[in-house]
Amino acid sequence: MDKIWSEKLKQRFLKYVSFHSTSIPFVEDFPSSKRQWDIAKYLFEELKSIGLEDVSIDDNAYVMGFLPSNIGHRVPTIGFVSHFDTSPDFSGENVKPQIIENYDGGDIRLNDKMALSPNEFADLKQYKGQTIICTDGTTLLGADDKAGVAEIVTAMEYLIANPEIKHGKIAVGFTPDEEVGRGADFFPVEKFGAEWAYTMDGSEIGELEYENFNAAYAHIKFHGKSVHPGYAKGLMVNASTMAREFADGLPADEVPETTEGREGFFHMTQMKGNVSEAELQYIIRDHDMDHFVARKKLIEEIVGEMQQKYGKDRIELDMGDQYFNMMEKVKEKFQSVEIAEQALKDVGVTPKVQPIRGGTDGARLSFMGLPCPNIFAGGHNFHGPYEYVPLESMQKATEVIVRIGELVAGE
């Protein structure tokens, strides 16, 4: 892709990150935040403007469009999916991207107090000489997953502008609320009509994934009894103390910061409380189903023991599954992985086939009848102020999408 298309891709991405589209956990509304409608409506209009057909936006903010086949023989309809919400782990409001051209390999100053340094983030070193898009240190960037959205839209526009590139029918879909585990809740798989799809939601260049964590959430509430501390003996029940006791009951070394590869974890995402009320929120992750079940059972056992100690009404547990390991379903359409791996090689990218230490809409969509391997979108350090994405990685991801279309068409 030439400089004109690279510039289109960059400007498209910068436009998307200007939307505040953070999702909100543990709410009933869908989408979880009204602000997600702003980018959804923008994408709806943009897909129409570039020439896709049957473009739609439904009552759940799912945006879809279709690129018709330009070949005379039938091939599988494939799809590409990305999410437009950003993580609630860090602010996604008023994002001010910095563009570092011809990166010199040293520290990138985000602001007066923070720097993005290869001494801390070694992956930066491989992008010397490239264009780095990063934050100003006050927000996340939103490359997860607005980079994926930009790559899909740009690839579709490129195919429309270059009809000599042969492809079958391609469906594209953009979702809200992926970051809170609900992105696929109402996804209209039948309307999407693809035999398989790809989520463009991976991290660094080359990633190709078809295994992911089994995932659940746990929300524990503690109800105490507040009395004057000077007269509390035998009367006070401190909700925050109960919350600390629960947290101490989980394995201290089975957390994200001490695990890697296929190792699972318990991750406390939020804690708050006082004497009267306290809450803990966890996500539970494991690639192995037996270990995943055991993790959930441990939480239930700790809650049960504490209920016996303090009283059943003192502790409430809300725990539920979010998604499962997609490998079981993707293997039924394994040509999807083989084609993607070939596409990476064809555009000069070395495939890095590995399990996802996280999850995507594709994990749940796979169990809804739409197998979805995951392909890199190019970003690093998601969900925080050190997030960045090399423009060249986004270009390669866009080229991969185009090449997959060609390979499915038999070209």
Q: Are residues 205 and 117 in the same domain?
A: yes
Question: Catalytic pick from 151, 178, 207, 254?
Answer: 178
| Cα–Cα dist 236/87, whole Å | 37
Q: Which is more confidently placed, 1 or 102?
A: 102
Q: Strands 108-109 and 115-116: what pairing? A: antiparallel
Q: Are residues 179 and 195 in the same domain?
A: yes
289 and 262 co-located in one domain: yes
Is the same domain home to 310 and 371? no
Q: For the domain that residue 167 is a member of, what is the CATH number?
A: 3.40.630.10
Q: Which of 302, 323, 344 is the last residue of a domain?
A: 323
My answer on whether 191 and 69 are in the same domain is yes
Instruction: Return the pLDDT at 272.
Output: 96
| Same domain (yes/no): 163, 72 | yes
Q: Any bridge partners for residue 209, and if so which?
A: 374
Q: Which pLDDT value is given to residue 26? A: 84
With tokens 């993790």, the residue in question is: 295
* Final residue of a structural domain among 276, 308, 323: 323
3-state secondary structure of 383: coil
Question: What are the pLDDT digits (tens) for 177-212?
Answer: 999 989 999 999 999 999 999 999 999 999 999 998
**Strand segments (E) across 43-138:** 53-57, 63-67, 78-83, 98-100, 108-109, 115-116, 132-134
What pLDDT was estimated at residue 3? 87
Active site residue 85: yes
The reported pLDDT for the residue numbered 235 is 95
Give the Å distances, CA to CA, from 138 to 7, 108, 110, 385: 25, 14, 9, 6
Average pLDDT over residues 263-284: 96
For the residues 84-94, what does the mean pLDDT come to? 96
Percent of the chain, pLDDT > 70? 100
Task: Tell me: do 238 and 269 sit in the same domain.
Answer: yes
Query: What integer is the mean pLDDT of 269-291?
Result: 95
Pair (300, 332) in one structural domain: no
Q: Which of 281, 305, 323 is where one domain is finished?
A: 323
User: For the chain, what is the mean pLDDT?
Assistant: 96
Selecting among 85, 157, 177, 201, the annotated active-site residue is 85
Annotation says 392 is catalytic: no
pLDDT in tens, 36-79: 999 999 999 999 999 999 999 999 999 999 999 999 999 999 99
Separation of alpha carbons 25 and 43, rounded Å = 23
Q: Are residues 228 and 349 in the same domain?
A: no
Domain range for residue 277?
214-323
Interatomic CA distance for residues 179 and 117, integer angstroms: 26
pLDDT reported for residue 186 = 97
pLDDT at residue 360 tops 80 = no
Q: Tell me: do 247 and 305 sit in the same domain.
A: yes
221 shares its domain with 241:
yes
Reported confidence tier of residue 101, pLDDT bands at 50, 70, 90: very high
| Number of separate domains in the chain | 2
What is the per-residue pLDDT across 314-334, written as a single tens digit (0 to 9) for each? 999 999 998 888 988 999 999
Are 200 and 231 members of one domain? no
Tens digits of per-residue pLDDT, 131-173? 999 999 999 999 999 999 999 999 999 999 999 999 999 999 9
CATH code, domain carrying 266: 3.30.70.360
